Amino acid sequence: MPDLNEQYQDSSNLNIRIKIHERYSTNKEDWHKWLFDHYDIKPGSRVLELGCRDGTFWLKNKERVPEEWKITLSDVSSGMLNDAQRNLGDSVNVIFKSIDIREISFGDNRFDAIIANHMLYYVPDREQAIEEVRRVLKQAGVFYSSTIGKEHMSGFNDFLTRFDPNIGFNMTKIQADAFGLEEQRRAIEALFLSM
């Protein structure tokens, strides 16, 4: 498995993967816009995104974000956070903060919505991470989390293996096995309901 600190020291490797999806996806609807359409975040909400990467989600939805939302964008990678800040610029309703999901540096019951897209499969102690999310989420708050399934990009991975059998790993399978679509809902519900 590749070194995540090296992979995500900044957004350069992520941008390559985003370009692959944009160029070769059979679904031509932009994923970031589609995802935004599925959020139900109320006016005046405090929003925390954990693992914001380079801010592409917010950049692509910039015109749709209500000014009254108070948004904290965070990532454990300072390089990613710097890229997000550079991409999004200054905004009165957005702050940038380095946060490890396993130790969220905010008080209890702070946020109306928490977002963690395509990142929980990287977290070594997901139970602790989800407990932290629950702690800082308001009682009536909503936790949005996206992930991949076991068949994600299987055609692309098959193509790469035919091109070079020595590539040596299927990253999407590793991620889906760690915390994929098939298990995510059950795992999060179990942890939220047990608290």
What integer pLDDT is reported at residue 151 of this predicted model? Answer: 54
CA distances from 20 to 15, 33, 89, 149, 194 (A): 9, 17, 25, 18, 39
Residue 1 predicted with pLDDT over 50: no
What integer pLDDT is reported at residue 75 of this predicted model? Answer: 95
- Nearest CA-CA partner of 138 in 115, 114, 117: 114
Residue 111 predicted with pLDDT over 70: yes
Residue ranges of domains in the chain, CATH in brackets: 4-14+28-34+41-146 (3.40.50.150)
Model confidence pLDDT, tens digit, residues 57-89: 999 999 999 999 999 999 999 998 999 999 999
Which of 61-65, 109-113, 160-164, 170-174 shows the lowest mean pLDDT across its residues? 170-174
What integer pLDDT is reported at residue 28 of this predicted model? Answer: 72
Residue 168 predicted with pLDDT over 90: no
Q: How far apart are CA 176 and CA 10, in angstroms?
A: 23
Decide which of 11 and 99 is more confident: 99
What integer pLDDT is reported at residue 179 of this predicted model? Answer: 58
> What is the pTM for the complete model shown?
0.75
Contact, 112 vs 41, CB < 8 A? yes
